[in-house]
Amino acid sequence: MSFSSLEFLFFFFPITLGVYYLLPRAAGNYWLLAASLFFYAWGEPRFFLLLLISVIVNYSFGLLLEKTAGPRKAIFILALLLNFSLLFAGKYMNAVTAGLRTRFPLWEGMIPQTSFIMPLAVSFYTFQSVSYLIDIYRGMRAEKKPCSYALFICFFPQLIQGPILRYGDFQPQLRERKTTADGFADGILRFLTGLNKKILLADVLSEITNTAFNRTQLSVGMAWLGMLAFSLQLYFDFSGYSDMAIGLGKMFGFRFRENFDYPYASASITDFWRRWHISLGTWFRDYLYFPLGGSRVKTKAQMALNLLLVWLATGIWHGANLTFILWGLLHGLLIVFEKLSGIPRRLENKPFARAVYRCFVLLAVCYAWMIFRSADLSQVWMYTKWLLKHGGSEWTDSLFRFQFREYIVTFVIALIAALPICRYLRKKAASSGKRTVTAVRLSWYLLQLLLAVLSVSSLVMSTHDPFLYVNF
């Protein structure tokens, strides 16, 4: 189930939270595990068994890797192969078989068209399992308690969309964690902020995006509006989910790493990837880029190749579509450019040039998101033409005028919320008196609570389709 659903907010969450705090401390982790398994089964009953098998297999491999003195590398490779095979089968097999059958029609009879359904969250829990195995292979102690390991993989706040946890961060908190009033309040605030971002911003912006990306012809204005709307939608959707996950974790005493840090305030593409989906970026850095040698390789060509491989993998991770690969490679190329050219370090004393480069970064990121969102390469090509007033498009049209006026309020709020303005204001307020700080804090809490009520009203409204009344 989604965090932004009525069933989660008013059925699963209150029961899980209430029982957790009523149970003795020793039972807390078991209750969270049971609730997390129920949470997964709720959203994905078909592949619940697959998740359990993955947990059991990787737990066993972890113990084996720690204990065995023999063919450790072979066991490690086998474990990785099994995990990536699962990911490949669930996520990529259908596209590969379809592609092969199209490319080699003579062999069509020999290549079956598979129709696997991708198990929910397989990308996330597979990567989390793999990071666990790699860390053990590198010397970390394996988890002896199966329920603790299972909770690491299945913990519901981060199971479906991350952030991708590291076992080294999670394990100490399994044994000892403390929930303070401030920590709990922080968790609530993060959760509400994420909920409001998702429902009041992302879901509304998705209406512009869907309109733009479902058309066969767009004006320049509408193409740009659609691209910007998707860039904001994706940020608020994903970061909103991460906020909710982090907030939920805090409510149960867990502290997760941050996953987003105002990425649209980035000074460079490199900086962007320190701020966007941080857990994925660091995963690829630690488990792919560094083992390849990272930037400590002999030649710049080797470094560039390593970076492109990492970004190719990042693109593939997102899905079995050439658009994701193109998106990943575009980011890779831009990062290679920055590494080789020394930008933006060379712009440090040039404020105007830095500002121009920031604009370029924002533009490049948004354009890459357009690629990411497109159904296929032909749509990428068409959309690019519309952005540049090619292919017969007008500057503006009635659709653009309507969409702009319809969503301008949401758009402006989204643009403000995407920048670290609130953080800046909080820092300014911190230098004021205690009363001011308290007043600002209380106002912010009240605002998020009221927005949460509005978010719930939006959830109810989205289910409100009185068909029967609309009969003619």
Partner 1 sequence: MVRENFSQNEDGNDKMNGERMKKPAIFLIGSFLLFIILFFAGNFPLIIKTARDQFHSVSDFRSRLTDAFKSDDFFLRDGLITLNGGYARLSGRRFYNNVILLNNGFLTQPLSTGMDAERNARIYEDLQNFAAAQGGDFLYVQLPYKLDIEGALLPDGLEDYGRYGPTEGFVEALQERGIDVIDTIPDLSRDRDEIEANYYRTDHHWKPSAAYKAFRMIMAHLDARYPGIFQDEPYLHEENWEFHKLPGQFLGSLGKRVGVLYAGLDGLEWMTPLFETKLSFHVPEEDSFSYGSYEDVFIRKEYLEAGGSRMHTNHYEVYTGGDHALTQSRNLYAPVDMKLLLIEDSYMLPLKTFFALVFREVDAVDPRTYTDSSVYEYIDRTRPDLVITALTPGSFEYWSYFHFNDPGDIYADETKKILLEGDFPLLTGTKYSPVSGSFENRGLYRLSFTNISGMRENTDAVSAVLYDTENDKIVSKKMFDARYCNAAGNCEWSFETPEKCGPGMELRLYAGDPGSAAPAGPVFEGVKLYRTDQRNDP
Q: 34 vs 80, which CB is nearer to partner 1?
A: 34
Three-class SS of residue 17? helix
Query: What is the DSSP code string of 18-50?
Result: HHHHHS-GGGHHHHHHHHHHHHHHHH-GGGHHH
Cβ 166 to partner 1 shortest distance, Å: 18
Q: 60 vs 379, which CB is nearer to partner 1?
A: 379
Q: Which residues of 406-427 are buried (b: 16+ CB within 10 A; e: fewer)?
A: ebeebbeebeebbeeeeeeeee
Q: 94 vs 270, which CB is nearer to partner 1?
A: 94
Distance CA 229, CA 213 (A): 11
Distance CA 150, CA 37 (A): 9
Distance CA 98, CA 69 (A): 43
Q: 41 vs 316, which CB is nearer to partner 1?
A: 41
Q: 301 vs 450, which CB is nearer to partner 1?
A: 450
Q: 13 vs 61, which CB is nearer to partner 1?
A: 13
Considering the candidates 277, 318, 331, 390, report the single residue annotated as catalytic: 318
Q: Please count the residues of the chain.
A: 472
Nearest to 167 by CA among 248, 93, 267, 62: 62
Please confirm, yes or no, whether 464 is among the known catalytic residues: no
Please return the burial class of 179, using the count of CB atoms within 10 Å of its CB with bins 0-12, 13-18 and 19+. Answer: middle
CB proximity list for 68: less than 8 A, separation 6 or greater: 75
Cβ 206 to partner 1 shortest distance, Å: 8
Nearest to 196 by CA among 24, 444, 463, 468: 444
**Cα dihedral across residues 176, 167, 91, 116: positive or negative:** negative
Q: 98 vs 309, which CB is nearer to partner 1?
A: 98
Cβ atoms within 10 Å of 203's Cβ, excluding its own: 20
Cβ 305 to partner 1 shortest distance, Å: 31
Q: 302 vs 379, which CB is nearer to partner 1?
A: 379
- CB 257, CB 242: distance < 8 Å: no
Cβ 389 to partner 1 shortest distance, Å: 19
Nearest to 194 by CA among 258, 255, 253, 134: 258
Cβ 90 to partner 1 shortest distance, Å: 10
- CB 334, CB 364: distance < 8 Å: yes
Q: Which residue has the tokens 């033409």?
A: 385
Distance CA 315, CA 324 (A): 5
Distance CA 201, CA 198 (A): 6
Cβ 222 to partner 1 shortest distance, Å: 10
Catalytic machinery residues: 318
